[in-house]
Structure 1
Amino acid sequence: MDNFSYFTTSDGVSIAHRMDGHDNKPVLVLSNSIGTTLRMWDGQVAELSRHFSVLRYDARGHGASSVPAGPYSVARLGHDVLELMDTLGIGQAHFLGLSLGGIVGQWLGIHAPARIDRLVLSNTAPYLGPADRFDAPIAQALQADDMTATAETFLHDWFPASMFEARDPAVQTFRTMLLTTSRHGLVGSWRAVQDTDMRQDIACITRPTLVIAGEHDTVTAASYSVQMAQTIPGATLLVLPAVHLSNVEFPREFVDAVVKFLLSPGA
């Protein structure tokens, strides 16, 4: 699986990426949540690549991409996507981001609408303040001996208790991703979220938008998604009975909704 390609951003960061699907299909960019890699989409790529050229990448500070010193900014994370598209000669693409990836998607919808065809914002929010709520977890992550405690906190925020009780293999897959994530990449990304407030700016998004929420999401509460769908002109809202990783808990419903939205005429 690890047959990545790499490109170097304008500020010297190596970004790992891979394409699945057919060259003659529209491009769909997938953007991962904080603490994960492009492998968070493994369960969806087979179906999505039937309809799209699926472009995945490891956000800076994650996976096989390099870990520059933080803090990062959402604008910088957005430019990473635009520069990746430029490198591959992609003028316009659909974009699907979850959590941090959805924050990047909002930024792209606001600041680079010509590059985005349709936008899917999953389990995300335009604002997760107040900013000081991140100070304690950032300090704990930096002071800990390793990522073990941080990983367990994330996992219990991401998955329902039933998946732990059933020893669902997905939990271990994501545990491994978290344990191998650099704390500096994690904290750099947290700082980007900490400084973000797009609650008013998302009203400027003109691209057709699908907002996907998790009914039981404790990270990016469904109420944020309701507000986003009401603020983004013409946006559609789908609420799944999920916690934070809707694509993992409800893969069939998630993919069906994404494909239907992206292929529907006149969304």
Structure 2
Amino acid sequence: MASNRPQDHRSGNVRTSDGVELAYDQHGESSKPSIIFLPGWCQTALQWRKQYEDLGQHFHVTTYDYRGHGSSEKTNRGYRIARFAADLNDILVRLNLNDVTLVGHSMGCSVMWSFWDIFVTERHRIKSLILVDQTSCMLPRPGWSEEQAKEIGTLFTQQSLDEFAIALQSDARATMSQFVPAMFTDKAAKEDVAWTLERNLMIDSKSAATLLLDHVKNDWRDVLETINVPTLVVGATGSFCPMSALDYLVAHIPGARLVAIEKEEGGSHFMFWESPEKFNALVRRFIGTGEVST
């Protein structure tokens, strides 16, 4: 794929407060508005390459690999959302980033919500949030009706979660070979799906399962109402994450707005990959003017 990568490119490592090396990349001039892209579960920073090659011309873009993912250090500790939130805080502080728009995809939203919940004194660094295709609670709570679970957009039962985690540790490639294609529309290029699969398999299966179990058990509903920065929620009509989950976010985050990308336009869980022009234009408008229409 031809690259429009800006010449102003920097890469390096940030050492976290518990001693793990995280690989990061920055694109664009440091004087421009700052964006940090946070990938989803088992994904790497390169999943955002269609964003930083374009948006790096307009913004100062930072991407990084979570611990155990991609080019970051492989470690046997810290595979929980709270620790990933602490790692995000280390990135912000060590790189001295301010007035940042955080863009989180899927599990990346949970990392953002955990950061917002725990690192209250560092919230001043955050200018705005873009939440991409993630429900605030993935596992029904005891006593919930089917209607409550549907409204909030839960994606697992305890049984299906346990079965998925066991299968992942038994045969990660076979399990992910079924899971990854479900994140794309049927129009996605086979080589893109295959590339994504290989990136997802860069984390060892035990760590991936540990992280998934922690990710799914969290309930972020009480955090939503505390968010007091401009927030854009992005969904897709062709995603397994139901629109009801995103409607719930908008109803409970003060002032939040929602845009959905249609399936026919590449609106999958990976809409930023299948429909990058539309997604990138949406990000540019939201950060620049507050407009959210597609």
TM-score, normalising length from structure 1?
Answer: 0.90
Shift of 1:247: 0.2
| 1:74 and 2:77 aligned | no
Match of residue 113 from structure 2:
106
Between stretches 199-208 and 60-69, larger displacement belongs to: 60-69
RMSD: 2.2
Identify the match of residue 14 of structure 1 among 1, 9, 21. 21
Shift of 1:77: 1.0
| 1:260 and 2:285 aligned | yes
| 1:116 and 2:126 aligned | yes
Match of residue 186 from structure 1:
208
User: Structure 1 residues 94 and 209, CA, compared in 2 at 3 Å: closer, same or farther?
Assistant: same
Q: Deviations over 1:15-60 (max 9, x none)?
A: 1111011111121000011121100011111221122110000012
Shift of 1:246: 1.2
Match of residue 49 from structure 1:
56
C-alpha contact 1:69 1:184 (8 A) present in aligned 2: no
| 1:214 and 2:207 aligned | no
Q: Rg larger in 1 or in 2?
A: 2
Runs of 4+ in 1 over 6 A off after TM superposition: none
| 1:143 and 2:170 aligned | yes
Between stretches 105-114 and 128-137, larger displacement belongs to: 105-114
1:60 partner amino acid: R
User: Structure 1 residues 229 and 90, CA, compared in 2 at 3 Å: closer, same or farther?
Assistant: same
* SS of equivalent to 1:239: strand
User: Structure 1 residues 75 and 179, CA, compared in 2 at 3 Å: closer, same or farther?
Assistant: closer
| 1:58 and 2:65 aligned | yes
Taking the aligned partners of 1:154 and 1:266, their CA distance within structure 2 comes to: 34
**Runs of 5+ consecutive residues of structure 1 not aligned to the other structure:** none
**Runs of 5+ consecutive residues of structure 2 not aligned to the other structure:** 141-156
Taking the aligned partners of 2:260 and 2:80, their CA distance within structure 1 comes to: 28
2:125 partner amino acid: R
Taking the aligned partners of 1:83 and 1:11, their CA distance within structure 2 comes to: 10
Shift of 1:67: 3.2
Q: Deviations over 1:196-243 (max 9, x none)?
A: 10112211111100000111211x222111110111000010011222
Higher RCO, 1 vs 2 (CA within 8 Å, ≥6 residues apart): 1
Q: Deviations over 1:168-203 (max 9, x none)?
A: 432122122123332133223202312210112211
TM-score, normalising length from structure 2?
Answer: 0.82
Match of residue 244 from structure 1:
269
Match of residue 176 from structure 1:
198
Match of residue 255 from structure 2:
234
1:258 partner amino acid: V
Taking the aligned partners of 1:185 and 1:259, their CA distance within structure 2 comes to: 35
Taking the aligned partners of 1:28 and 1:162, their CA distance within structure 2 comes to: 29
Match of residue 161 from structure 1:
186
